[in-house]
Structures are given as structure tokens and as C-alpha cells.
Structure 1
Amino acid sequence: MAAINTERLKELTKKKLRGTISKEESEQLDAWYNQPVPKVIEWNSGDRNERELKFRLYRQLLRTIGLPDNTVAAQPGYKLWPRLVGVAATVAAIVFCIWFFKPDQSLEERGRQIAARNDIPPLPNTATLTLPDGDIIALSNTKKGVIIGSSGLKYTDSSKVANHPGLATELLNNKAIVLTANTQHGSTYYLTLPDGSKIWLNAASTLKFPSTFDKLNTRTVELRGEAYFEVAKNAAKPFLLQSGNQLLRVLGTHFNVNTYDYGTEVKTTLLEGSVQVNLLQEPDLKKTLKPGEQANSSKGILHVVKADTAAVMAWRRGDFVFVDDDLETILQRLRNWYHVEFEYVGKKPSLKMTGVMSRAVKLSKVLAQIEASGKVKFKIEGRKVYVMN
């Protein structure tokens, strides 16, 4: 094929993302993609969000070569898996690059080797409600969510929850008691609070909330883990969320909060409306977010950045999304979902990855794609996974 200069590649790539590329231009760009030699495009991102651009282009490239956009890409310079002539992306400073390499070993074979002794599938969907006296109500793992109201507990399909007799009386009498919703590893669950606010809990998360807000001045809840909120509007009764070292104040908005214990930051991402972020130890330090922004709070410091909303909300779609994430961050997510422990053997490998993969697959398949980087190997024994160079 005829050579394409760098400026022409930039122009064609931007057209591909905007959906304005012609058939002839698309064929020209696809032909360049499919050349079996390493290639790279570089440009200064300016005021664009490099992480979002990389993520969007990565998924677009997968669709271009006929692959589902649920495949993980490794750090550039390492070999990938069959059918993927090569799609990998990395961001360094303000330079954006796309690299392409041919595979040397099938992904399926890697998965079989990792799972030689056993494999770990996603866990059954398990959630509970804990009452003030310590009694636990197990929520059905065949249901997607539960609604808490004065008439009792119901699933989203309107079927009744076989709940505690005492709780039924408390709800009927509109008495505010503290309930605690818990999701286990590998589980997500949906809740509708008494005020109509909707909350989706991610895996290994806990939400504390009152059974009614009627006699309270505020709607105050507490989160540990991760959740997405769609708060019902009520200007007379603000919604307050305590999560880690921060307090959020909202009237009606859509946002995601990540406060997993393994993270060094509490991350609040706003999708719609407005939310004010306050640090508990620094009450005068506060930030008001706009849609598309993310507040990161850690060690008494609060700063706001532009959010990669596609990556933040991937868990709601049932995906893992890695955006220039290091190995430790990736393994922490897998630990939380599959309920496994990782143990390093020898020197801790150094690599970063970008990509998308379903959370519905067995652990060996995820590990096989990480192994394709050529920088790390895994061995599963029971619920422990050994990480080796």
C-alpha cells in the first residue's frame, strides 16, 4: 500500500472517531492498521482528555477489525493474542500512541495453562440486609434489586422479600432504624431507598441508611466500597453521603463514589446535576463538581479533574476497564471480584495495561490476557494466585 504520512494518519483517525470518515478513507486506514509490522501514531493531545481519547479509540479499533470491544490490550512492546493484528495504547505525558504487534501464542492456550489445576468462575450474586440487632436477611441471588418502603421489602419484580417480622413492624410504624446493605465479592445489587433514591452497589460494598427519612432533617447514608447513586430531589431535605474521609451534599443528582479500602483516594464522579464535596477533617475545604468532573480526596487534599466516565461506569455494564493501570491496581480489582489472594514470587513485575473485558468470564481468561504482555505469569492454586516474572 502507499505510504501514509503522520499528519494524514492523525486526520483519518480523528474522522474515524467522529464518524465522518468516507468509505475510501476507512479502507485506507484499515489497510494501514492491518500491516504486520509495528506502527505508531503520536500527537499532542492539547486540551483533550488523553485517557478518554485512548479508551474511545481502542474500542473503535476493535470494532474496525471485527472484534468485540471486550478485549484487553497490553502495554506497547509486548505480543498480543490471535485475531488481534495488534491494538494497544499507552499515554506518556501528553503524547498519545497506538502500537500494533503480532501474537505468538493463543489466548486459549494461555488460559488452559493457567487453569491446569483449577479455575475460578465469577461468584454467585450474594447480598444481605443486616438489622440493628444483628439479624441478617439474605436477599435472593436470582433478583436484581430490592425496594425498601413502608409496606415492607419488595424485589424489583414486585415479589415480597421473606424478611424479619420485627422489621416489617418497624417499617409499617414508620420508625427510623438503621439498615445495612452488603454485597459480597463478585456481586452487585440495586436498592431503592424509602425516599425513592436509587443506588447500585458494586462488589464487596456496604451501605448504611435509615429505614425512613420522614422524621429526619437530612437523608444521611454511609458508604464503604463503591456505588452509583441517582438521588431523588427534595430541596427541603438534603441528601448527605459519608464515604471515607469525605462528606457529599446533594439535592438531586447522579454520581459514582469509589472508596474501596485498597485505594489511596476516595473518587467521586459526577454524571448529572451538582454535588458538593467536603473533607471531614478540613470542613472549610470544599469543591462543587460539574457533570463530567471527578473529585479525588486523600490525606487532607482535595482536587478536581476531568473524569473518564466511560471507565468509571464500566462496572455498571458488567465490565472491567483498565486505563493505563499498573499491575497492582488491576490485581486489586480482580481480588475484589473473584475473592482470591495474589502472592508475588520474586520481583514484582512492572507493566501497565489498557482495555476492556467482561466480568462474567472465569479468572483464567482475564489472567491469560494479562500474561499476553510477556511480562508476567500466573498459577492458580485453590483461591491463591501466584504472580511470577
Structure 2
Amino acid sequence: MVMQERVVVLYQKCLAGTADAAEKLELSQLLEEPANEARIRAAIDDLLAADKPLEDIPEETMGSMLRAIFEAAEATGPVRNKSPRSIARRVWWAAAVVLGVVATTWYVRQQYRTMPESAPVAIQATPGYNKAVLTLASGEVVLLDSAGQQQLSQGAILAQQQGGLLTYKHTGNKTEAGYNTLSTPRGGQFRVVLPDGTTVWLNAASSLRYPLAFTGKQRLVEVTGEAFFTVAPDAAKPFHVKVNGVVEVAVLGTSFNINAYTDEQYIRTTLLEGAVNVTKGATTVRLHPGQQAEASNRANGLQVATGIDPAQVVAWKNGVFDFNRMPLDVVMRQLARWYDIEVAYEKNIPDITFWGKMGRDLPLSDVLLILEKSQVHVRLEKNGKKLIVIP
């Protein structure tokens, strides 16, 4: 609690313009702690919830918030084994996670004042949300979204949607045949509890095909894109996942993440709890918690990677982008899927490695400001649906 109070004091000093370089640096470092970040978020929320509407907040206040972020990055001194550019970027990301919304509001206000009245306004991409398409065994297609509340009967199987969650329940003695497929578009995510109690989170541009009832000696589902599984234990009926038709993951009861986007180099299976066997062709590897199996999307081969940060792998499930140690092209592919935009490069892909995290609820305009301060220059085309990375 002492540190959380300290971060508020430093924030207020930066806001008032009385913080020195050491205090700005201390604030930027404290902001990397989630509890401290939450305290500053609360302070900003109090400001935005004041009696005055947002547009009436003095420009000086907006400006001092923005300068506090920028100056925190500039105050960072050299650190052993890390380049000043990398450290500055890490500090900026930590600060931007907290102050992005307010800073961007100030920034956009300045841009708007210098914009000719006749200039066209680009449509800004919004962050993704709970939405999916459910294809029933009959072939009927049902749209699901955050506001949906509905029940879908398929014989003795009842599928119930409550917002971003779809749950299956067996309501009779009859065993139902057939499959359902849950698919998320770009900019969508969804969660489903399968008939056996297994929970699956689907990331954007992903799909899960599963039976209405798990009969036989194993439980088999098929996945594309990215999904996180918490498998219900059943030693008599092991759980199997077919990934893109080329990799199979066999488990009993465990938690793991599969990233199988076709525009990535590898199909990656990351184990959080339990144990799984991952098979590609004639090769099988057994994973232990914290390990990751990498199967090439473009060639033969299956290998095990260690030293993986499981929290980073599943950050998407918890509403966070975790870009620590990620190259620019990987960051851009994640943003493209979540904001449903096209990303292109005017020349070569810049050699930039990112540090830090940000919420997946930020509007694209905030993200672009963060990229700009991270020395990534972009422009929007096609009414805001195409992002061009420029030198």
C-alpha cells in the first residue's frame, strides 16, 4: 500500500509539473507493477468522472498528462546490457498503458484544431469484442454477440448463450449425433463450455469444431487460429485436439494454449498445467508445464522450447496485449486480427523489438499514438481499414 500511495504522489507531482527527472523515472518504473497501474487508472477515472464533461477539462491539464509520459521516457538513463532506445520504449509503453486514453484525447484535440474543415475523417477501427458465428448440426447459422441471450435446442442437447459465453447441456437420455462449429471473425472472441465441461476460449479469426456428445473412446475436437483450453478430467476418455489438420494434441485433464494462425511461422502449443503429448507426422513430444511445442507451418519438424512465459502466451485471454520482447511484425499481426485491419509495409519491416503491455480495449487511435512514440510511423488508408508502416 505504501508503494501505491507513493505512485499517486508522483503522478500528482508530474501532473502539476513539479516532479524532477528522478521522480519521473521512479514513476515510470512503478507503473510496471499492476497494483500501481490500477491506482493511477483510478486517479484518472476520478478526473474523467468529475462534474465537468471531458471536453471542458483544461487543455493545460491534458497537456501536462501527455508531457508527464513523454518526459518519463526522456528521463531514463543508461542501463547495463540494454540500449537507451529499448529502455525508453519500455518506459513509454508502461506509461502509455495507464495514460493512453487521456493522452490521445489531448493529441486528437490538437490535430482536430489544425485540420481543414473540408478534410475527410477516416473511420477509426474499434477494438474487438465478443462475437462469433455458430453453425449447428443442421447447417443453420446463428450469430452470437455480447448482448445475446438465447437458447438453441438440438434434440436432447441445449446450447445456451449468455453474452460472450456459450454453454452446452444434455437434457435427456438420447445420445445426439452431429457437430457444431463456433467461429470468431477478425475482431472477435468467444468462450464455450463443451458438453463434457471443458472450457475453450477462442481468440480472433479462430474456429472450433466439436460433437454434440462425446461418444466412443476419446473426446476429439478440431481447432484453427488460437484457443485456450481448460480440459475437464476423464481418465477413461482422453481429450484430443486436431490443429489445422496437421498436429494433434492428446491430454487427460490440463490447461494449454494453441496458436495455429497460418500467417505465423509455427503452430505453438504451450502447456500451463498437467501434461500433453503433441504429435506431428511420426514425431511425438511430451510437454511439461512451462514448455512449448513448435511445429513448423511451412516444413517438417517438431521441437520443444523452454523458458516460455505462460502468462504472456495467454495474455490475450485476460484482455491484454503482452508485447515484451516481441518484434514489430508479430505485434502488427496481433493488432491486425484484433482491430480487423490490414497491415502493410511501405519498405522493409523495421527492426524494432517491443517491451510492455496494453489493454485490448484501447481504441486504435490510442495504439497509433503509442506506436508513433515508439518510433513506428504509420498512416491509415481505406477509411482507416489499412495501416501502412512507413520508414
Q: Which runs of 5+ in 2 are unaligned?
A: 10-18, 43-65, 75-79, 93-102, 113-119
Q: In 1, are the aligned partners of 2:345 and 2:388 still within 8 Å (CA)?
A: yes
Matches within 5 A, 1:120-131: 120-131=125-136
The CA distance in 1 between the partners of 2:73 and 2:235, in whole Å, is 48
The CA distance in 2 between the partners of 1:313 and 1:236, in whole Å, is 28
User: 1:386: which partner in 2?
Assistant: 388
User: 2:291: which partner in 1?
Assistant: 293
The CA distance in 2 between the partners of 1:226 and 1:249, in whole Å, is 17
The CA distance in 1 between the partners of 2:229 and 2:40, in whole Å, is 32
The CA distance in 2 between the partners of 1:111 and 1:346, in whole Å, is 27
The CA distance in 2 between the partners of 1:146 and 1:237, in whole Å, is 28
Matches within 5 A, 1:87-102: 95=81, 99-100=87-88
User: 2:67: which partner in 1?
Assistant: 82
Q: In 2, are the aligned partners of 1:62 and 1:68 still within 8 Å (CA)?
A: no
Deviation for aligned residue 1:140: 4.0
Q: What is the CA deviation profile of residues 227-258 of structure 1, one whole-angstrom value per residue up to 9, with x for unaligned ones?
A: 11111111111100111332111000011111
User: 2:341: which partner in 1?
Assistant: 340
Q: In 2, are the aligned partners of 1:119 and 1:380 still within 8 Å (CA)?
A: no
The CA distance in 2 between the partners of 1:124 and 1:340, in whole Å, is 15
Matches within 5 A, 1:254-293: 254-279=255-280, 281=281, 283=282, 285-293=283-291
Q: In 1, are the aligned partners of 2:128 and 2:361 still within 8 Å (CA)?
A: no
Deviation for aligned residue 1:132: 4.3
Q: In 1, are the aligned partners of 2:151 and 2:159 still within 8 Å (CA)?
A: yes
**1:194 is the counterpart of 2:195:** yes
The CA distance in 2 between the partners of 1:297 and 1:272, in whole Å, is 20
User: 2:253: which partner in 1?
Assistant: 252
TM-score by length of 2: 0.69
Deviation for aligned residue 1:116: 5.3
The CA distance in 1 between the partners of 2:377 and 2:309, in whole Å, is 27
Deviation for aligned residue 1:86: 3.7
Matches within 5 A, 1:36-185: 36=21, 59-60=32-33, 63=36, 67=40, 82-84=67-69, 85-86=71-72, 95=81, 99-100=87-88, 107-108=104-105, 113=111, 117-143=122-148, 150-156=156-162, 173-185=174-186
Deviation for aligned residue 1:57: 8.8
Q: What is the CA deviation profile of residues 63-103 of structure 1, one whole-angstrom value per residue up to 9, with x for unaligned ones?
A: 3897559xxxxxxxxxxx63234469xxxxx9566734898
Deviation for aligned residue 1:313: 1.5
The CA distance in 1 between the partners of 2:365 and 2:354, in whole Å, is 17
Read off the aligned partner of 2:67 and give its amino acid letter. P
Higher relative contact order (CA 8 A, sep 6+): 1
Q: What is the CA deviation profile of residues 45-71 of structure 1, one whole-angstrom value per residue up to 9, with x for unaligned ones?
A: xxxxxxxxxxx99723993897559xx
How many residues of Structure 1 are paired with residues of Structure 2 in the alignment? Answer: 322
Q: In 1, are the aligned partners of 2:125 and 2:340 still within 8 Å (CA)?
A: no
TM-score by length of 1: 0.69
User: 2:221: which partner in 1?
Assistant: 221
Relative to structure 1, is the Cα distance of residues 172 and 134 closer, same or farther in structure 2, using a 3 angstrom cutoff? farther
**1:240 is the counterpart of 2:213:** no
Matches within 5 A, 1:341-360: 341-360=342-361
Deviation for aligned residue 1:378: 2.5
State the secondary structure of the residue aligned to 1:315: helix
Read off the aligned partner of 2:291 and give its amino acid letter. E
Q: Point out the structure with the larger helix share.
A: 2
Deviation for aligned residue 1:111: 5.3
Relative to structure 1, is the Cα distance of residues 82 and 381 closer, same or farther in structure 2, using a 3 angstrom cutoff? farther
Identity %: 29
